[in-house]
Structure 1
Amino acid sequence: MSFLHARFAKPSRVTCLSALCVIAGGCILAALPSSPARAQVAIIVNGDPITLYDIEQRTRLMQIAGAKGAGRQQAIEELINDKLKLSAAKGYKLEITQSDVDSAFGNIARSSRTTPENFAKGLASAGINPDTLKARLKADLAWSQIIRGKYQSALQVGEKEILTTLEKREAKDVGYEYVLTPILFVIPRGAEGMVDSRKRDADLLRVRFQDCKTGIPFARALRDVVVRDTIRRNSADLSPQLRGVLDKVDVGRLTPPEVTSGGVEVFALCEKKETTADSPARRALREEYYSERFKKHADRYLKELKKGAMIEYRQTQ
């Protein structure tokens, strides 16, 4: 999947630990804690144990992810909160499956432009058991569902509220809908030496490609070229970087070529029209308000859970 193709994909609501992307590039090999630490119980939360190993692993994960002020005490607080979240999930009979967790893990890997398998290896090379991250993801997934279900009406953001704020901020409330056709210049496996020649082929097509009506049939007739299904995307769904790429491309022309796992890919911009159904400014404001409300209610509910919890500290060093 290409950089562009991955980001033209519709966004997921799962929040990813994007700072962990550095792991995909490789880290210094760090030894995992010795086996006794795995069994030493440090804290018990509502009957559920947290081991010294859990604390060491979470501390390391937070440091690798670049969490502000990441340290042992912060890791302990995070682990306790995760236990409370999962305990609440049990109370609501909410089940987060292994498939759900693996999917979230895969989303992080893809945001790192790597496979889940390679991402797991990267974590291991940094001395982090992949299950450490998966445990955190499980708690996050459960908590997100709980808060969205419990405070559904309070989290809603009205369009009138958004428009009023946009007027006050004098923000541009215009978006675009793009119609794009991906065109792939195939490179067989093991033939990486063809990359430069395929880039040249793509550049030649960019010169000849003047409109989608004639250009796409022409591309389909080319040897070892695959024209994929047309996709529609709103500018509100795209990053500023991608909007910048499309802003430089005229309708009926192709984006610059990009190397992907399958070859060299370009996108034909077949249509671009203004839309007021949604815009980057409106989407950003909606997400801003939603995040603020989510955090407010989540923090309040977590405090309630902590007040009623049975937390026993045995040893944390």
Structure 2
Amino acid sequence: MTTTLRVHRLLLIALGTALLLTGGAAPSRAQTVVVMVNGEPITDFDIEQRSKLDALSGLKSQSRQDVINELIDEKVKIKEGKKYGVEPGVSDIDQSYSGMAQRMRITTDQLTKSLEVKGIRPETLKNRMRAEMVWTSLVRGRFKEQLQVGERDVAAAVQAQNGEKLQIEGFEYKMQPIVLIVPHGSSQAATEARKKEAELYRSRITSCDEANSLFRSTPNAAIRESVTKTTADLPEALRKVLDDTQVGHLTPPEITKQGIEMVVLCARNSTMIDTPKRREVREKMYGEKYEKTSKRYLAEIRKAAMIEYR
């Protein structure tokens, strides 16, 4: 998990707690310029606001200079983004802000309220979001080749950890979910009748084409669009059911909240799939490369920046 994602997760938790409180927006106040970065000011109010946001995000206690450095970094990131045409618009930032609210299962107004309770302006969070969006796009775009993780390196890392094979043979399943609708509150007898109906369909269906033709015209029944999953994507119990089902046939009916559900297996093909360990190692290696590249890039552009303390 990258530092940005970790900060966002902590912030979500903290803001959820803040919703239980009441209060108003932070009052306006005079602003004193503390440092100029490429001609743009960072004020004491900016520092105060970011300190509050960092505390709310659950970051370890930072000194005033740490917070100033954080703000300086963001200024140089934004300028570097403009150099390469990476400039998120207002709608992009608002969408990111709204997305955070959705992950918290609250409205954007409630998110704003929870910030104001802590004396933080929404713009303080949005400014940090803007810098993160710009920087992620820059690093991934400019250093795409350097960030690639070689499969041989992944294989070696996995082998070194626990001797697990790089790949294992599995299956790729193409299937379509089917539901025979049972209205809410129906009797047990009605449910059992629909289940018997499902068993009858199982004895008749021998292909996906037949299933589509039948269930698209059957009252109170639905067949959904096909989905493709690999062995690694499915729980063991479902894999066993699919492995025991002939291609073109239906899986045994199950009673769910929707009604009687089945799956028509359209194809089952052998494939070489990732093991969960391989995916974990690849993601970790990418994250390490990203962090290293990001720090080096930031050091370069910060060295070239005009930073003047007042």
Task: State the TM bucket, normalised to the shorter chain.
Answer: 0.5 to 0.7
* Paired AA for residue 150 in structure 2: G
Determine whether 1:135 maps to 2:127: yes
Partner of 1:66: 58
TM normalised by structure 1 equals 0.66
Question: Relative to structure 1, is the Cα distance of residues 143 and 234 closer, same or farther in structure 2, using a 3 angstrom cutoff?
Answer: farther
Partner of 1:78: 70
Determine if contact 1:183/1:226 at 8 Å carries over to the other structure.
Answer: yes
Structure 1's unaligned 5+ residue stretches are: 1-13, 187-196, 259-263
- CA distance in 1 between partners of 2:252 and 2:105 (Å): 27
Determine if contact 1:180/1:268 at 8 Å carries over to the other structure.
Answer: no
Shift of 1:57: 2.1
Tell me the SS of whatever aligns to 2:29: helix
- CA distance in 1 between partners of 2:252 and 2:109 (Å): 37
* Paired AA for residue 19 in structure 1: L
Determine whether 1:34 maps to 2:30: no
> How do residues 262-281 of structure 1 correspond to structure 2 at under 5 angstroms?
275-281=271-277
Determine whether 1:305 maps to 2:298: no
- CA distance in 1 between partners of 2:99 and 2:259 (Å): 22
> How do residues 57-136 of structure 1 correspond to structure 2 at under 5 angstroms?
57-70=49-62, 72-136=64-128
Shift of 1:143: 0.9
- CA distance in 2 between partners of 1:200 and 1:311 (Å): 75
Which sits farther off after the overlay, 21-30 or 288-297?
21-30
Shift of 1:290: 1.3
Which sits farther off after the overlay, 111-120 or 225-234?
225-234
- CA distance in 1 between partners of 2:105 and 2:276 (Å): 24
Structure 2's unaligned 5+ residue stretches are: 243-250
Shift of 1:309: 1.9
> How do residues 179-258 of structure 1 correspond to structure 2 at under 5 angstroms?
208=195, 217=215, 221-222=219-220, 229-232=225-228, 246-247=235-236, 249=238, 250-251=241-242, 252=251
Determine if contact 1:235/1:279 at 8 Å carries over to the other structure.
Answer: no
- CA distance in 1 between partners of 2:65 and 2:255 (Å): 48
Partner of 1:291: 287
Q: Which protein has the larger Cα radius of gyration, Structure 1 or Structure 2?
A: 2
Shift of 1:27: 4.0
- Correspondent of 2:150 among 150, 158, 179: 158
TM normalised by structure 2 equals 0.68
- CA distance in 2 between partners of 1:20 and 1:185 (Å): 43
- CA distance in 2 between partners of 1:53 and 1:164 (Å): 50
Shift of 1:281: 2.4
Which sits farther off after the overlay, 295-304 or 116-125?
116-125
Question: Percent identity over the alignment?
Answer: 30
Deviations 1:31-70 (A, max 9, x none): 5443115x33232211111223322222222222212335
Partner of 1:18: 9
- CA distance in 2 between partners of 1:309 and 1:92 (Å): 16
Deviations 1:268-287 (A, max 9, x none): 66668875343432222222
Deviations 1:160-211 (A, max 9, x none): 211222222224645775667678999xxxxxxxxxx68999xx69x94788
- CA distance in 2 between partners of 1:119 and 1:248 (Å): 40
Determine if contact 2:178/2:263 at 8 Å carries over to the other structure.
Answer: no
* Paired AA for residue 294 in structure 1: Y
